[in-house]
Every structure is written in C-alpha cells, then in structure tokens.
Copies of this chain bind each other. A is one copy, B any other.
C-alpha cells in the first residue's frame, strides 16, 4: 500500500504497540514513533522501543520524559506499591491514572506540529486488564476532544485515533504480528522485567502474553528470569 500521510504511533516496546506500528506501516503511513520515559518500573521496555523503532526503520522516534512519579497512585509509577503476582478483581493496581489520556495528548500536540491527523495506539479491550482507557467509547471521546482542542481541528482537520487491535485477542495480535514479520523477541511486556529485558513470568502482563502465544499455537520467544 502507498500512503504518505504522517502518523504518530505510540510505541511502548511491548507486543501490542509493536504490532500496531507494523499495521500502520503496512497501511503505508509515514510513521513517527512516540514513547514515554515515565520512570516506569519496566524501563527495559524503553530500550525495546528504541530497538523496534530502529529495526522497523521509522522516520523519527521521540522519547518524552514525563514525571508520573509525582502523581503516583499506581504500582507502575510508585515504588512503595508492589506489582501483584496474581490476578486481582476489578481494575488492578497497575492501572496508571489517566495514562493513555496523557499519552494521547502528547501525541495530539506533536501531530498538530508536524501536520499529521492520524494517531495509532495499541490498546485492546479484550485482554485489557480492565483499564478504562482501553475501551472503544474512550477512543471515540478522545477523537471528539481532539477536534475541539486544536487549531488544526478548528481549521477542519479530522483527527483519527486508530486502535486497530481494540477487538483482537492476544492470540490474534500475535498471529497478526507474525504475519507482518515482527520479531517479537525484541519486545518486552513484563511489568517488572530486569535491566536485560528478561520477564518475571508472573505478573498479569506476562500471563496474558504467555496465554497469547499458547492460544495462537506459536512458540514464545520471551526470555524469562
């Protein structure tokens, strides 16, 4: 496909956002990757994001530092809260307040500056761990906001938030990624991976990933601690 429109793609270094980037590239978008250094526990994800951006040869990759530790309230940003090693009821403590809203807001700002109207985010409403900001109605509300929030919106730009994985199971994401030749060994999903990107194998995110490879009938290239 040929499509030289610019798109901002949020890339975390994980499996979902990497597949999302591959889909955006497959649609012919000229991709600008955006990652965040928010003092997350799994900082090895950021190394993974850099490696993925390089290996997938995208136009630009920006890493923005944001200080979510000052806000706190999540096991991923507050060192005094432990990451649970078992499934929990309801929305888990790994939920980071308003995280996707912040991420999309930076993406929207950059989109406006470079003249992009397309933003890709790898959220997923099925295996989504119960996070509110991974639901289709949330994505729609953000598109509505983006139109009203920006100079570009007033001037007629229709921002589109693409969430191509939103209805996919983890197994379907893995199959899609493999069909687009992603090397999943580059990706890190674990909430508490070590500095070399080796996964704990115990947290929610590891469980979803393990089940995904199993259900997809594919071998899991993840390296565990």
Q: Which residue on B lies nearest to A112, using beta carbons?
A: B97
Contact flags A94-121 to B (C-beta < 8 A → 1, else 0): 0111111110011011101100000000
Neighbouring B residues of A132 by C-beta, 8 Å: 148-151, 153-154
**C-alpha spacing A62/B72, complex, angstroms:** 12
A141 and B151 form a contact (CB under 8 A): no
Say whether A137 faces chain B, with CB atoms less than 8 Å apart: yes
The residue of chain B having its C-beta at the shortest distance from the C-beta of A70 within the complex is B64
What 1/0 mask marks residues of chain A from 135 to 162 whose CB sits below 8 Å from any chain B CB?
1011001101100111101100000000
- Do the beta carbons of B149 and A133 come within 8 Å of each other? yes
Q: What is the number of residues of chain A that contact chain B, defined by CB distance less than 8 Å?
A: 41
A residues engaging B (CB < 8 A)?
Answer: 62, 64-68, 70-73, 91, 95-102, 105-106, 108-110, 112-113, 132-133, 135, 137-138, 141-142, 144-145, 148-151, 153-154
Given known contacts A137-B148, A144-B141, A66 and B66 CB-to-CB distance under 8 angstroms: yes
Each complex incorporates copies of this chain amounting to 2
With contacts A70-B64, A71-B110 taken as known, whether A141 is within 8 angstroms of B145 at the C-beta atoms is yes
Task: With A98-B105, A108-B97 as known contacts, state yes or no: A113 contacts B71, CB within 8 Å.
Answer: yes
**Chain B's nearest CB lies how many Å from the CB of A94?**
11
- Decide yes or no: A102 and B100 within 8 Å by CB, A141-B145, A142-B145, A144-B144 being known contacts: no
Minimum CB–CB distance from A207 to chain B (whole Å) comes to: 21
Assembled-state Cα–Cα distance A142/B149 (Å) = 9
Residues of chain B with a CB closer than 8 A to A154's CB: 91, 132
Return chain B residues, CB-CB under 8 Å to A68. 109
- State A106–B132 Cα separation when bound (angstroms): 17
